[in-house]
Each structure stands twice: as C-alpha cells, then as structure tokens.
Amino acid sequence: MARLFAPLEQRSLTLRNRLVVAPMCQYSAVDGVPNDWHLVHLGSRAVGGAGAIIAEATAVSAQGRISPSDTGLWNDGQAEAWSRIVRFVACQGTVPGIQLAHAGRKASVAPPWLGGIAVTPQDGGWTPVAPSGVAFSETSPLPRALHESELKNVVDDFACAAWRAKAAGFQLAEIHAAHGYLLHQFLSPLSNHRNDEYGGSFENRIRLLLEVIDAVRKVWPERLPLWLRLSATDWAEGGWDIEQSVELARIVKSRGIDLIDVSSGGLMHGAKIPLSPGYQVPFASRIRNEAGIATGAVGLITKPEHAETIVENGEADVVLFARELLRDPYFPRRAAKELSGELHAPEQYLRAW
C-alpha cells in the first residue's frame, strides 16, 4: 500500500490516510455562524476521501476575526451550527478538525476578493489588538497593544472555544500560531516589542502560546489529538526562525501537542519567499527529526507522487493540501487511483468505481 494511504494513529483517533485538508478561510459567515456554504464546501471534501479536514481559522473571539465574515466559536449558537457540519464530515469517514485562531493585528480587514482593505469601526470593523502597537502594513489598521492583564482573557477565549469545539463534535483541534496572527506575533521579535514577561527573550515570547496550549489541553479530551500550526520562519532577518521552531517543538511536545503543522511566513508584509513545490517540506523534516514530534507538510504540493515521497522518506507524517483541494475536492480519490492506494467510495458513487 502507498504510504500516503496508510492509517495514522494519534491517541485514540485513527486517520484513514495521510491526506489532510488544510484550513482555508471562506469569508462567508454571518456573525461567526457557519452556514450551508461551509457544509457543502467541507462536506464535498469529506466525500472526496480526505483523512481529516481542518475547518478554516475560526475566531476564539469577535475581536479575533480576520474579517467580519469569519467563522467563530465564541458562543453556543456558533457551536450548534458547526455540529451539523461535523456530523456530516464524520459520517463520511473523515476526521473533523477545527483551527482555533486569533488574528491579532491582522484583524478587521475585508475578504481578499474585496481587496483585503481595512474595515473601519463605522463599517462594522474594530480596533485590532497585538503584542505591540505596530501595524502589519502601511494600509493595515493600527493595532492597540494588549495590556498584560488582558492576556488571561485571550487564554480563556482559546480554552472556551476548544470546549465548544468539543461540544460540537470535533475530534481534532489545531491551535493557530502561524501566518502572522496573534500567537505568531508574540513569538517573533519583529512584531513583539514588549518589555514585560511576554516579550524580549525566547522564553518570554513563547509564554502566551504555552499558556494557551496548557489551557486548551485542560478542556480538550485527553483521548483526542491537539495540533499546532507554526510558521517555521518569518523569512526576515532577526525574526522567528527554524532553530527557534525546533526548540519550541521540543517544549510543546511535552505539553500535549501531537503534531506540528509546519508552514512559514505571513508575519512581515512584502517578505521575499522562495516559492516552489514543497518549499516548506525541509522545515517539517527538521522539526520531525530534531524535535521527535510528528509533523505535517504543506505548500504548493499538487502531485500525488510528491506527497507519497514526502511521507515515504519520513519528511512528514501527513501532507496538507489547500489550493489543490479547492481545484479538485476529489483529489484524494485521484491520488488513490494513481498510487494504487485503498480508498473506499461512498455507496452512492460505487457505480463510477
């Protein structure tokens, strides 16, 4: 059997294969509530055969949304709406996952197809918060630096969102500390200019993330895996880098993180990133081998053979797909055919197989 289609066991959970749908924001919710678009979008990829689906970056508070159209998990109504989607995904044999996120200084902007411009409070936006009062770009909203006393609220928001995710039936949770959002902003000295116990040294800059992990792990069932998405490098001098990522991975492994979903960038506007198929795989490989923790590889991976090689060579334990699964929800079934992998079709589709 192709390694890409070998089951993956994490705690009490088994993914039927190593193909995972990466979290992709749809910017289609109202008041944080997912709707029929999310059901069909995520449901079609479950029918498509993915081992797990991680729903889009879902805000732990209204202030933590990227845009006013983001999904959320800060109230019970949102959790109830998610539960319908979760039930359908799980019934297809796919593990339903959720990414818990806070946008920080990258909040209160319009969806990408509307230019991603700042949304003012008068137009339904809000003042973003961040480790320090430094904007993401010249056209981004100027954030307000969080007071140290407010950080407990951030931690509590993540824990409460994780509790609601459990209530909604999600079986996999991922904490978002990548792509320049709030937890990543605390990690990087380029965005974290604080002089209290949450800024300065490596130990201080990772403090908020560790507090979030500990709080989430307390409410997230011990039998279910908890993943962490990390930007392995800022692609900028003096920023967060792969060496710090490896050291962080060693620490979070002992605190209940089961897999590092390895991405990169997103913190610095205009950073030069050497894009090519699988350009982030070496980061996943280093973290896996040097920190001794499972990893996921992502980034312009579009060919089944490429994904198979990544897993076969021990560079990562799962491969996450984003744009390729927007283009083709049934990519896992195509990959199974090309690689002679085992992936059963739904009964309703058997006539085509």
The band of 227, judged by pLDDT with boundaries at 50, 70 and 90, is very high
Q: Say which amino acid occupies 73.
A: L
pLDDT on residue 301: 97
In the numeric block, which tokens belong to residue 232? 């392995």
The band of 139, judged by pLDDT with boundaries at 50, 70 and 90, is confident
349 carries an active-site annotation: no
Class of domain 3-352: alpha beta
pLDDT on residue 261: 98
Cβ–Cβ under 8 Å, residues 252 and 274: no
Averaged pLDDT, 198-213: 98
Indicate the range of 99-108, 109-118, 163-172 predicted with least confidence. 109-118
3-state DSSP assignment of residue 65: coil
Averaged pLDDT, 303-328: 97
Rounded CA separation 291/289 (Å): 6
Region of 198 please: left (phi>0), alpha (psi -120 to 50) or beta.
alpha
For the chain, what are the domain ranges?
Answer: 3-352
Q: What is the pTM of this model?
A: 0.97
Rounded CA separation 93/89 (Å): 7
Give the tens place of pLDDT for each residue, 253-263: 999 999 999 99
Indicate the range of 30-34, 246-250, 283-287, 346-350 predicted with least confidence. 346-350
Q: Which of 181, 198, 330, 349 is catalytic?
A: 181
Rounded CA separation 198/209 (Å): 10
Report, in angstroms and rounded to the nearest whole number, the Rg of the chain calculated over CA atoms: 19
pLDDT on residue 266: 97
Task: Indicate whether 1 pLDDT > 80.
Answer: no
pLDDT on residue 352: 85
Averaged pLDDT, 237-245: 97
The mean of the pLDDT values for the chain is 97
3-state DSSP assignment of residue 208: helix
pLDDT on residue 49: 97
Cβ–Cβ under 8 Å, residues 41 and 34: no
Residue 121, burial from CB neighbour count under 10 angstroms (0-12, 13-18, 19+): exposed
Averaged pLDDT, 87-94: 97
The band of 243, judged by pLDDT with boundaries at 50, 70 and 90, is very high
Quick one: how many helices (H) and strands (E) in the chain?
11, 12
Give the tens place of pLDDT for each residue, 175-202: 999 999 999 999 999 999 999 999 999 9
- Give percent of the chain above pLDDT 90: 95
Task: Indicate whether 101 pLDDT > 80.
Answer: yes
